[in-house]
Structure formats: C-alpha cells, structure tokens
Amino acid sequence: MAVFKMPSLGADMEAGKLVEWLVKPGDPVKHGDIVAVVETQKGAIEIEIFEDGVVEKLLAELGQSLPVGAPLAVIRAAGQVVTEAPEAPPSETPRADVEATAPVAKTEPSTVPPSPAPTGIAASPAAKARAAELGIALQSLTGSGPDGAIVLADVDAAKPAAPPSAKPERGAYLAEMRKAIAAAMTRSKREIPHYYVTHTVDLSAATDWLNAANAARPPEERILMGALLMKAVALAAREEKAVNGHFGEEGFTPSKAIHLGLAIALRGGGLVAPAILDADRLSLHALMEAMRDLTTRARAGRLKSSEMSMATLTFSALGESGVEAMAGIIVPPQVAIVTAGAPGPQPLVRDGEVVAAQAVTLTLAADHRVSDGRLGSKFLIAIDAKLQIPEEL
C-alpha cells in the first residue's frame, strides 16, 4: 500500500487546486498514467502517477488546494491483497449498510448517487461540457436534476456575471503567472551565484544544410533552427556533466539523462519551460515533434507534472526576430541555462578577413557552486562544434 503524493510542479509552483480526478477507487493505474488535473498559476497541469497498482482510495477532494507532497490517493500495488478495512466513509446520514470489506470507499454524500463518470459527480453530459467550457468546478454546484444531478441550467445559473470578453480573466491569469515567475526568479538570483559566458557561433553550415533539407520537404516535415540548437545543446551536455542536473540540499547531483527544458513564451507575457525528456537521444524529427507538442499544450495550458519538474538543463531562444543576445536566469533546482539571441548575419573573422555570416550568440548562465567559467566556456565550444556538423545532429 503506497500513498500517492502531490508531485513537484516545478520551481515556481508550491501548490495546485485539484479540479479533476481521472480515476476512481478500483481503477488499475500504471506508470505514466494521468490520474488527476490541478489548476496552478501556470495553467492546468496533468498529474501523472509513477507506480503500478490499483486505486484503493482517493484522499484529496476536488476544489482542495494541495501543496507539493500532500497525500492524493492510496495505491495498492498490483497483486497486493487488501489487508486494511477501508475507513468508514464520511456520510451525512448514518448508514448501517456499509460493508466493512467493500474495497470502494463511498466518499460521496448520500444525497448524490455514485456516478460512473470520472469526476464522481452526477451531471448531464451537456452540463459537464458547459462547466468545463466555463471553467466551473462541478462540485461547487447544487444539482436540481433527478437525484440531485447537475443539469445544464444549474451550470448556467452559476455562470459568473458575464464579463464582456475573456480578457479580464486572461489578464488575471497572466498576473498570477507573473507572480510565479517573479518568485522563482527572485529565489534563483538570491540563492544561485550565477556566472555568464557568451560565444558567437557561425551558423553558415547549419543554415545551408537546413535550407537544403527543408526545401525538399513538405511543411509538416520541416525542421526549425531551434531544433538544431536544442539538439546541439543536449549533445554537448553529455560532455560537460556539471551543467546538467539538480542542486539540492546535499549539493549537486549530475543527471545521466538529459531532459532539456524549452522556454516557451506565452502571448501577452508569461513563460513556461517544460522538459523534453532524453532530448539528446531524439532525432531532429522527433525533437521537432516534441517541441510542437509542448508548444501546443503550453498554449492550451495542459502540461504534465513530470514535464514541469524534470528538466535538468534549460534552453531559451529569442526566436527569429529579436536582439543578438540574451542572458538567462537559472531555473532552480537546475544549475544552468543556455540562451540564444536571434540568429542573423553578423560580422565574423575568417582567415583574417571580416565576413558577414549567419550566426547566433549563445549565453550560458551557470551555477558557481558547481562549475566555473572555464567549464562554461568548454560547454559553449562543444555546442559550437556540434553545430558545424549539422548532418550528425
């Protein structure tokens, strides 16, 4: 029997509000399943489970704000025999017919019949859809339908006094996200002694190779320069282990796996940096797909808990139109971030001559508790070397 706890949601998130259970007692779960959804300052996050077994009991209720580490559910390992009698369910009316051996805890008030729906709340499909659309939690509503079921009219009645547009709500959401970013970055600047190294990489070879490759491809198979940069960063991180890992209470723990966080800017302000797992082992096409998927879900506010907390190194690029360089702030508990200015023609010296060539300026911010500028320099030079042989990325 194991207690499944609220996982870390990333450096800047301390709690999440439980808005949906996707499992109920008795459901089998396996490693990687999404079992719940929490609402955070950075949008909805899907909570994954990392053990196999059967849901014995749900411990957290919808609408609850849950700090990282809060117990969410009891999971019985596959094959494990039920040894404990489930606790008597909290019930508004005393019930004599509760079976002590019933594996399913009846946590619903007796006025609401158990429902097969994942939310455990009786509601018509139309009501559920409308509630989801309006962002109203079903458990906050009183049902007027048969047996207290929530019907469409109940949802409509609970609709907040209609704002003329969705903008104020989005504004408030972005203000919350700004607070989360500020808190995490303040902590980073306070705790991490940053040092910075900068290097301009000649992208002529990478640009020519990419243009030639993309010209023959339909748009859905085209690769962006951003994917080449990410792959080069991930491969170089294999060589300089002091930039890839987490710094915790016991100091720095390097990570064998390279989970590269990708900073994604959200319209109107706001930033998330979910991780692409094992980025160094993905082909450029697979990396592109992962970047596309993450960008789409980041915009929709639907990232996974593992993606929010597992990055071992972050990459952030300004994109195609912008200034030539940007310095980043490390996302704790990571120890380094690589930032790229906008790629563009820059004056480079080749064989004693100044030439205009496509280039990108990379900046590394790294943690002085773990490494020094000399190592940072080697890391950026390793990224440069990878980008000179684009066909091997």
Partner 1 sequence: MTEDEIRSAYIEELVKVAPDLDPAGIAGSDHLQDDLELDSMDILNLVIALNARFGVAIAEADYPQIATPDLAAAFLKSRV
Task: Please list the alpha-helical segments (H only) found in the chain.
Answer: 125-134, 152-158, 167-191, 204-215, 225-239, 284-300, 305-309, 373-387
Shortest spacing between CB 204 and partner 1, in angstroms: 17
Q: State how far the Cα of 386 lies from the Cα of 389, in Å rounded to an integer.
A: 6
Q: State how far the Cα of 54 lies from the Cα of 329, in Å rounded to an integer.
A: 41
Shortest spacing between CB 50 and partner 1, in angstroms: 29
Q: State how far the Cα of 117 lies from the Cα of 109, in Å rounded to an integer.
A: 16
Query: How far from 66 is each of 6, 8, 16, 90, 352, CA to CA, in Å?
Result: 7, 11, 5, 20, 61
Shortest spacing between CB 288 and partner 1, in angstroms: 9
Identity of the residue, 245 or 274, whose beta carbon is nearer to partner 1 in the bound complex: 274
Identity of the residue, 170 or 179, whose beta carbon is nearer to partner 1 in the bound complex: 170
Identity of the residue, 193 or 269, whose beta carbon is nearer to partner 1 in the bound complex: 269
Shortest spacing between CB 219 and partner 1, in angstroms: 5
Name the site residues for partner 1 (rule: CB under 8 A). Answer: 165-167, 170, 211, 214-215, 218-220, 222, 224-226, 264-268, 291-292, 295-296, 299-300, 319-321
- Token pair 């080069």: residue: 232
**Sign for the pseudo-dihedral over CA of 81, 85, 87, 88:** positive
Q: State how far the Cα of 21 lies from the Cα of 8, in Å rounded to an integer.
A: 18
Shortest spacing between CB 309 and partner 1, in angstroms: 23
Tell me the backbone φ, ψ of residue 300, rounded to 5 degrees: -80, -5
Helix (H/G/I), strand (E/B), else coil: 373: helix
Burial class (CB in 10 A: 0-12, 13-18, 19+), 314: buried
Shortest spacing between CB 291 and partner 1, in angstroms: 6
- Contact criterion met (CB below 8 Å) for 245 and 253: yes
Interacting residues of 167 by C-beta distance below 8 A, sequence separation 6+: none
Helix (H/G/I), strand (E/B), else coil: 385: helix
In SS3 terms, 112-157 reads as CCCCCCCCCCCECHHHHHHHHHHCCCHHHCCCCCHHHCECHHHHHH
Shortest spacing between CB 44 and partner 1, in angstroms: 14
Identity of the residue, 54 or 360, whose beta carbon is nearer to partner 1 in the bound complex: 360
Shortest spacing between CB 356 and partner 1, in angstroms: 19
